[in-house]
A and B are shown apart, each in its own frame.
Chain A
Amino acid sequence: MGNHVLVIEDEPNIVEAIRFILMRDGWDVSTLSDGDRAEDTIRSCRPDVVILDVMLPGRSGLEILAALRADAATRSLPVLMLTAKGQGRDRAEAERIGASRFMSKPFSNTEILASVRALAGV
């Protein structure tokens, strides 16, 4: 398992904070702010872990997750879904589709780092 994390999130300041936390821990971090280019980006840059927000401009996180799980090449790709507290239906749907882990906003830096490490088997 490598150390490449792709963060797909449209909130720039969250992206910046996650990028800082992960880079400080030695991870190579790419970012993307819309859902429409997510699949192509994942296929081209082949991340080891994806952090995926549910609510994105363009395709939603749930649609992207479903597409990833329908493709043999990305079926087992670890995906950490970011949902908002109170959005229980989104979380249930992500679980049904096959999300590897969930994290509710607002999350702590420690939680997100621990989740990425766990998904990458570090």
Chain B
Amino acid sequence: MPVSALTGGRVRERRLALGQRQADVARAAGISASYLNLIEHNRRRIGPGVLARLADVLGTEAAALAQGAEGILATDLRDAAAGAAGARPELERIEDFIGRFPGWAELLAGQHRRLGHLERSVEALSDRMAHDPHLSAALHEVLSVVSAVRSTAAILAETEEIDPSWRARFHANLHADAERLATGAEALVAYLDVSGEEQEPGIAAPQEELEAWLAGHNWTLAALEPGASPEARAALLAEAGGLASGAARQLARDWLAEAAKDAAAVPMTGLVDAAARVGLDPVLLAQRFGADVIAVFRRLALMPGTKLGVVICDASGTMIFRKPVEGFALPRFGAACPLWPLYTALGRPMTPVQAEVEMSGRSPQRFRTLAFCRPRLTGGFAGPQLAEAAMLILPLPPGTTGTLGVGTSCRICPRPACPARREPSILSESQTGA
């Protein structure tokens, strides 16, 4: 397994957390204490065999030592570099940067996230100007009245000889327009005041807000299961009602309503038992429960104690639900890698798509993916055909071969000869100096 320059630090952290002595761990792993000391201080790169033995001694996975939380930080920093205009950050030294200046790295990644939020706020406000029908109509009304006032006032001011009947009409029009303008302006200000207050806190990313809330529950919502008390369910709904933005609250309400239906169709206790018998196969599980296959994907995402990720997208490929899994970085913004089996499934509705993939990165990790798409015909024959595709992401043990290389998104993917590439990668730009 490829390891990063930070692996040694994680070995040390893990050993200290367990309260074990360096000499004891080294002996158990079959290496000298001085060698382990060099490893722990990132002065020696660690080979896959030694890493596996150390992981075994420390009671953890080798992958966890090879790519810890810094992996997420590194992904955020690469994302920040992708958007850097003019500057050319030293991408090959990201891990050195994180290791030597963890505080600055966290600050930079945090600033990048904040910048993303602000950009989306601006975008949302621009969209609002264009798409909020109330605001658009209100502005049009105000501008129309202003036009009438401007033209009428100009006529009265610039026309020396004007018929008295016209003059009287224009005066009456000006008076009426002034009244309308005052009323319209007040209503507009009141509307902007109220909607602005509602919108400000969570304007940036309602979907992220919902996912963060679910992650805060460790992706387990017992209150939705059949037999849970009405009080527990009401408390959960009330908690969802406390999310920062109106959009996130609406998303959460819709999501919880659907999750409750899923739970009734596929109770968690039954799902855990069935999964132990037939494995994590959404199609077999759906058959066993007589349930919708995509509902089973959603249920698997909430299954306690499992290290699996789930992504669900709509017919446009936009991700509408994400449960991340370590090592399989999901794009925060924009489109994902088109090679994901999720998109293969999207093009082949009702056909299960199974593939083993390797996620690109300094420490590539391999996953088994199961993807499925089903059409949604909520409007019957007359309605549009919608679709939902889901992908289960299951970590594979190290050493698995013969996998499909995928990435997070083109901009931060290092695969140079990818046939699906949409745009150059900042990583190859860095290497070529482009």
Taking CB atoms, residues of chain A closer than 8 Å to B146 are: 105-106
Chain A positions 79 through 113: 1 when the CB is less than 8 Å from some CB of chain B, otherwise 0: 00000111101000000000000000111110010
Q: Is A39 an interface residue (CB 8 A)?
A: no
- Determine if B173 and A13 form an interchain contact, defined as CB atoms under 8 angstroms apart: yes
Q: Is A120 an interface residue (CB 8 A)?
A: no
Shortest B176–chain A CB gap in Å is: 7
Closest to A24 in B: B159
- Determine if A84 and B130 form an interchain contact, defined as CB atoms under 8 angstroms apart: no
Q: Is B169 an interface residue (CB 8 A)?
A: yes
- Determine if B139 and A14 form an interchain contact, defined as CB atoms under 8 angstroms apart: no
CA distance in complex: A11, B147 (Å) = 10
CA distance in complex: A22, B177 (Å) = 21
Q: Is A45 an interface residue (CB 8 A)?
A: no
Total contacting residues, chain B, CB less than 8 A = 26
Q: Which of B139, B149, B159, B176 contacts A86 (CB 8 A)?
A: B139
Taking CB atoms, residues of chain A closer than 8 Å to B155 are: 17, 20-21, 109
CA distance in complex: A85, B147 (Å) = 11
Closest to B151 in A: A17
Taking CB atoms, residues of chain B closer than 8 Å to A89 are: 130
Q: Which of A13, A105, A108 contacts B154 (CB 8 A)?
A: A108
Shortest B13–chain A CB gap in Å is: 54
- Determine if A13 and B139 form an interchain contact, defined as CB atoms under 8 angstroms apart: no
**B108-141 residues at the A interface, CB under 8 angstroms:** 129-130, 136-137, 139-140
Chain B positions 134 through 173: 1 when the CB is less than 8 Å from some CB of chain A, otherwise 0: 0011011001111111111011001100000010011001
CA distance in complex: A24, B137 (Å) = 32
Interface residues of A toward B: which range?
A: 20 to 34
Q: Is A18 an interface residue (CB 8 A)?
A: yes
Closest to B180 in A: A13
- Determine if B144 and A11 form an interchain contact, defined as CB atoms under 8 angstroms apart: yes
Taking CB atoms, residues of chain A closer than 8 Å to B158 are: 109
Q: Is A119 an interface residue (CB 8 A)?
A: no
CA distance in complex: A89, B126 (Å) = 12
**Most chain A CB inside 10 Å of its own CB: which residue of B137, B139, B144, B155:** B144
Shortest A9–chain B CB gap in Å is: 8
- Determine if A84 and B151 form an interchain contact, defined as CB atoms under 8 angstroms apart: no
CA distance in complex: A13, B125 (Å) = 32
Taking CB atoms, residues of chain B closer than 8 Å to A112 are: 151
**A47-75 residues at the B interface, CB under 8 angstroms:** 55
**A6-43 residues at the B interface, CB under 8 angstroms:** 11, 13-14, 16-18, 20-21, 24
Q: Which of A17, A84, A109 contacts B140 (CB 8 A)?
A: A84
Taking CB atoms, residues of chain B closer than 8 Å to A84 are: 139-140, 143-144
Could you list 10 examples of A-B contacts with CB < 8 Å?
A11-B144, A17-B173, A21-B151, A55-B137, A85-B143, A87-B140, A105-B146, A107-B147, A109-B155, A112-B151
Closest 3 A/B residue pairs (Cβ): A17-B151, A13-B148, A106-B147
* A contacts, CB < 8 Å to B: 11, 13-14, 16-18, 20-21, 24, 55, 84-87, 89, 105-109, 112
